[in-house]
Amino acid sequence: MKTRQSTQFIRIMRYSLLTLSAAIMLSSCGGNESTDETSSTDSLATDNATAVTASQLQRADFSHFFTVQGLVEADQNAQLFPEAAGKITAILVKEGDNVSKGQTLLTIDSKIVANQINELQSRLSLAKLVYEKQESLWSQEIGSEIQYLEAKNNFESLESSLETLEAQKSLYVITAPFAGIVDEINPKVGEMANPAMPAFRLINMKSVYVKADVTEGYLGKINEGDVVTAAFPSMNYEVETKIKRIGNYINPNNRTFKVTLELPNSNNMLRPNLLAEISVRDYHSDSTVVIPTSLVQLTPSGQEFVYAIEGGIAKKIEITTGKSYMNNVEVLEGLNGNEMLIERGARSVKDGDEVSIQS
């Protein structure tokens, strides 16, 4: 009897233990489901937020520049022509030589003129002697006035003819009209000089300048004395200078006016006809709102807008822009300068979308 009761008791205990284990397992499973549900809810909320990058706006100075092309010029850049025809007897310089003003560069055969001068000088000596004697006699009231006047006229006429021949002889020499560098020599010794053909090119590169054509739309936006930048792409050289002169004439063919820039050229780097790219500032604004042009979007009607972030929500802000330069644009209306603007991802969100900022 006791054995049966003991067996029955053991069975009851086993059943109770199994029931308790099952309850514990069910309770544990129910807790995991609750945790999983919470995690799933949080994950869903995160998945609904669009990942973007953003930047904080700050006010900055903004300048706009326009670029025109010009050419280097020099006032003292001249082709020298012979003024008389004849055989070239000597070329006294080489290409690249530095010469001074008045230095002889080339001579042409002038024997004929020289012989005429020698002959005239002999006649002039005799005429001078006759004139002086007649003048002495006439002062003593000896001889006729006609003889005195004829002697005087002959002397003065020969004197004038000698001056003319000496002037003609100077045409048989080419001299430097200014100090500079002999850049080109065209003829050779023994060739015939031709007044229609240039013999030399002489350049003084100490004083050069740039001239450029600027469209009339910028008239009134730039002034003499404005600081500009002149770049020379072929030389990888850039220099800051000022506008020396603004022309008063507008070319009716292309509606442009001339602008002249002074250029320092102490090392003779800049050569005549060298291409220059000139950057001129035509607009400036202090402490304004400036944003990258890539952030600006357009509605179908043409209204400009950007997206900002307020409290984790994307907000569409309509703006009005001004001038743009170097991938930046000035915002005239719509932004205060303290907004957080969406950069990457701005074209993937809509007004009111939840966003998350990624680094």
- The predicted pLDDT at position 13 comes to 52
What domains does the chain contain, in order, with CATH numbers? Answer: 51-62+285-357 (2.40.420.20), 67-75+204-284 (2.40.30.170), 80-202 (2.40.50.100)
Exposure b/e, 302-335, CB count within 10 A at least 16 = b? eebbbbbbeeeebbebebebbebbeeebbbeebb
**Residue 270 in tokens:** 């800049």
Q: Report whether 124 contacts 155 (CB < 8 A).
A: yes
Q: Report whether 278 contacts 210 (CB < 8 A).
A: yes
Full-model pTM? 0.63
- The predicted pLDDT at position 11 comes to 52
Q: Report whether 306 contacts 347 (CB < 8 A).
A: no
- The predicted pLDDT at position 20 comes to 46
DSSP at 55: E
- The predicted pLDDT at position 47 comes to 59
- CA–CA gap between residue 213 and residue 220 (Å, rounded): 15
Q: pLDDT (tens digit, 0 to 9) for every residue of the chain, 359 residues total?
A: 444 444 444 454 554 544 445 444 444 444 444 444 444 444 444 557 899 999 999 999 999 999 999 999 998 999 999 999 999 999 999 999 999 999 999 999 988 888 888 888 888 888 888 878 777 877 777 777 788 788 888 888 888 888 887 878 888 899 999 999 999 999 999 999 999 999 999 999 888 999 999 999 999 899 999 999 999 999 999 999 999 999 999 999 999 999 999 888 878 889 999 999 999 999 999 999 999 999 999 999 999 999 999 999 999 999 999 999 999 999 999 999 999 999 999 999 999 999 999 87
- The predicted pLDDT at position 31 comes to 43
Q: Report whether 326 contacts 359 (CB < 8 A).
A: no
